[in-house]
Structure 1
Amino acid sequence: MTNDLAAAPDEGFEQILGYLKEARGFDFTGYKRTTLMRRVGRRMTQVGIDSYPDYLDYLQVNTDEFALLFNTILINVTAFYRDADAWDYVQSEVVPMLLAERGPDDLIRIWSAGCSSGEEAYSLAIVFAEALGVEQFRQRVKIYATDVDEDALVQARHATYSAQAIEGLPAEYVERYFEQQGEEYVFHKDLRRSVIFGRNDLVQDAPISRIDLLVCRNTLMYFNAETQASVLRKLHFALVPRGVLFMGKAEMLLSHARMFDPVDLRHRIFRKVPAALPAGTPFAHTTTLDRQRSVAAADELQALAFTASPVAQIVVNSDDVLALANQRAQRLFGLTDRDVGRLLRDLEISYRPVELRGYIQQAREDRRAVRVKDVEWQRGPGEIVALELHVSPLMATDDQPLGVSIVFHDVTTSHRLMADLATANRERENAYEELQSTTEELETTNEELQSTVEELETTNEELQSTNEELETTNEELQSTNDELQTINNTLRDRTSELDDVNEFLESILTSLRSGVVVVDQEMRVVAWNAGAEDLWGLRRDEAEGEHLLNLDIGLPVGELRPIVRPALAEADYTKDITLDAVNRKGRAVTVRISCGALRNRRGESTGAILVMEVANGEAARPDTSGTSPGRR
């Protein structure tokens, strides 16, 4: 691999992402580019390709390569009770709080987003089974576990784990919730029925709604800022009022404080803050920039429109400006975020698949919904889509019109089914045997549909949008923690060394019988040893920090200025003087004072050192009586 692949994303790399989205149905554009390029580059190295165009050709020719690339990008890392202290907090504080806020018969809905191979979902089952008891758990708790990796979901549904995988669980939990089969352990089937696995893309799919506890750990850190904001809005929508969000220890939500209140930041537990809707925001701006600002402020309009829109939907404000377009509408009609804020008449959707402006005007004037049936649209070569439109006026609390919601129901399947049934009815009189064969085929189809009941329970919650794929992982967190631990250990060792040096220097000053005083460039005392305390009766804590010439001792400190000032300026300066003074006992003494510069490693003067000795034979000795002499 060349170093070019580590640079910013180029056109070749974006073409690979576009191919994965269009041909394979997986959208990686919301992922951080540096992470994506590193992982795609790793796969290119494995197959011996060093350029993005060549690897795109390789993907198009080798159909099996997509699964291998998918597994390289989405590395599933999970474990039972991962980050045990956080799970202990959930079990001891969060779960009792949730149960106390609900009635004894209320259902509890839990969503494990990014469940990987199922360890997190089954950890949640154990936590709630411990709190409620097995029987109450089966009656009241429903756990939805979603992921984008089909192989991981298959493993999760089997609920079979090795002894190494469950070693982090307490022994009593293993005995209570698992059955040993040979060398593997299987989660109990009666509890397994309360855990429903299905596929869900947090970026593009609609969230599961009415969730009491949402577990989405170490997922947002791999998305760019725009995608993180979009996913957080979906998580906020999924939760019931004051619902709980449990995130990974690498995620903080600091920039989204208005959406969630922290319960415990250390364990990343948050509660939903209900959205506050303004009482009618007008759309009366004329420029594109002002229209976009008006659209961004219309939380009430957004809530009304998207609450009523389970399928493709757009919203036009009172100025005929496109205010909102959900993801299904964007994909169906080729709209982008840049089209929001533009006049409807400038967009193709205003007249295709049907002329909208007349129906919009009718809905506004009549102040009631307009239903447009049997709209056929030639979407592409050989592809005819049948639509039914619901054009509904959106009214503010003061009965003033805010805009119009247009919902596009895709009824292509229904039309085809009705046509097929009409044909079957016409042929039934002359083809009874063919009808019997069709009946048998329908029975076979019904048996196959029974096997997907669990997946349908998940997808029934996602009617507001279509399903695609998502996955994220926590690949680099452990290495970062290891590096931080190494840095902490190094700092701790250096701190210990500094303490030893300080203690050594302190012992030297304490051991000197002469009085030693050290001052800085401002002539403030920075060191005052025991000899100085015994000589002048001034304690160390009283002297240090004070100006040398302001000290109230028996020494004429004013006469020290002529010998101290030169030492502060000249690194090689030394000077001895003799002064008459009065010691701490009130006795007259003659003191010999030696003054020299305090030099740093560069030989520059950073202060001055004064050594004081009694010249008449009465040496200053440290007081050994066990008490401080104090000032006289």
Structure 2
Amino acid sequence: MTERDPDSTGEPGDGQEGLQEVLRLLHASRGIDFTGYKRSTLLRRISRRMAALNARTYADYCDLLELHPEEFTRLLDSLLINVTGFFRDPAAWEVVAERVVPQILAGKAPGAPIRVWSTGCATGEEAYTLAIILAEALGIPAFQERVKIYATDVDEQALQTARTGVYAERRVQDVPPELRDRFFEPLGTGYAFRRDLRRQVIFGRNDLTRDAPISRIDLLTFRNTLMYFNSETQRSVLRRIHFSLTDSGYLFLGKAEMLVHHGSLFEPVDLRKRVFRKLPGSAPPERRQAEPPEELTARLGVVRAAALAAGPVAQLAVGVDGDLVVANTRAQHLFGLSSSDIGRPFRDLEISYRPVELRSMIDQVKRTLRPQEVQGAQWRGPQWQADTDATFVILDICVVPLLDRTSTLVGFGISFTDVTSGVQLREELEHANEELERAYQDVQSLNEELETTNEELQSTNEELETTNEELQSTNEELETMNEELRSTNDELQDINDALRSRTEELHHTKTFFESVWESLGHAALVLDDELRVIVWSQGATELWGLRADEAQGRHLATLPIGLPAKDLLPSLQRMRRSPAPPLRSTFDVDAVNRLGHPLRLEVDALPLRQGPASGGIILLVNRVDAAEEAVSPSADGGKGRPAVSPAAEDG
């Protein structure tokens, strides 16, 4: 065994290493890694087991775990709070039954399979609740053909209970009576889920933090499981279950759980009842079949012509022979051209020399095969020439050579880019810059103030996010404690049931012994090893008038009764000191009853066998009463005579 510091206190600092050692031993023994669970819950549950075993430090508790391997099972039961029930939070289950299940069925083809996953199923009540809801929606035959319910947990003992499907009567109290009659069969003092429907529920072990998720799930219940993980583990697990769901899959959480930072993965269906739907990702683009080259060339030619005609920039194309070949829609509108101008010599058109001399530019491009540009040309077209107040259009003109695949010159492309708005914006910008220059100092000051305010707002926003996370964590912590209290309450209820049964047995035993004492009829006393009264029968009360509560606990010699204790004590002392087996004594003594009448009592002292003799029983029989009882009615005239024994007659 590994040596540990006996002075270790188990408190933080030093205690963190001790806690990690407990978790390491638990992982090695049971294969469950609790490092992703909330530290506060682990500390509270482990401290509970340590207090029960009077272990002051983590080191002491690790020693106990190594010496007593069965403690691993009890610790695991404490950490895995298996609190569940049928139709837990009925209002939330109504949303699932009335909204979620019908939408799942509506999105499925007839006969298509339906897959459901219940994570953290514990003893199986939640999985069977899903089975009841789906069987009600589909009908029993369709449910058996289409539905598969996967129920997983890390607790093998809880899974074994879930597989049997047998529950005590108080466990099924939350199931409506009509559903209980249809889906459960009486078994002893409890109920068993129907065997023919139980085949559709598949139980298995799955660690959500490590094992691969189940895929193609239509409905995934994740209730009161997420809240036990820390933030990092929650993000990892949510990514896994997002992969598990189909594009139209639904997620059902517990009432203390939220998806605060996962709005890009899920959208709420009913936020108050914690029902969410997966946001599907974009589908991959479909691949198209390749077209024949001739058809592709023709289609691309049509597309290019349409794109050129609809382009926002005015464009012309002049052939190498000097004729106008192309004028798109924008160019025709801007320069007053028509379709009849196509094919005419370019030099005969007004556009060849107004707004700029394009013929010389074309000649230059023809010689050098390099683009020529003119910027800021003003143009007022024919449609505006009659209006003397019309503003000019400012154009940037570019002439480029058009070459074929063999780099042979085939024509010239001319584009007219309208930069009027850009020029106006530049003028306005220059004017604005002058104003901005004058106000620069004020703007700079305001900018600094805004930056300061922005930093404060950012800080406030971060504080609010931190507060929100703390509130969420606190809510989850409270729900965890509530689960623990429910678990403890169930344990106390089981103990109370056992105590009630033992109390009834004790009452029955007490009543039986009181009946035995009363049936004896004579005075009977039970003394302990110190000759103090333990039992004082009703016969003794009638003989001397001393009640049982007045006599119990007192020494026989101190009782104010007409029984000569000095005559009894020697025999009782001999019986108490005798070797095993103790001796039995019978003798007569003279006594006085509560009315002062003399009595002759037959004393029968027996040892009290309680292991070794530790007391005695005294039976006191009034010989006068016994003699009177021996007298029986005679057959001759009813006068009677004392009854005598056969031995007396022989005498």
Superposition TM-score tier, normalisation by shorter sequence: 0.3 to 0.5
TM-score by length of 2: 0.42
Q: Which has the higher contact order (CA 8 A, sep 6+)?
A: 1
TM-score by length of 1: 0.44
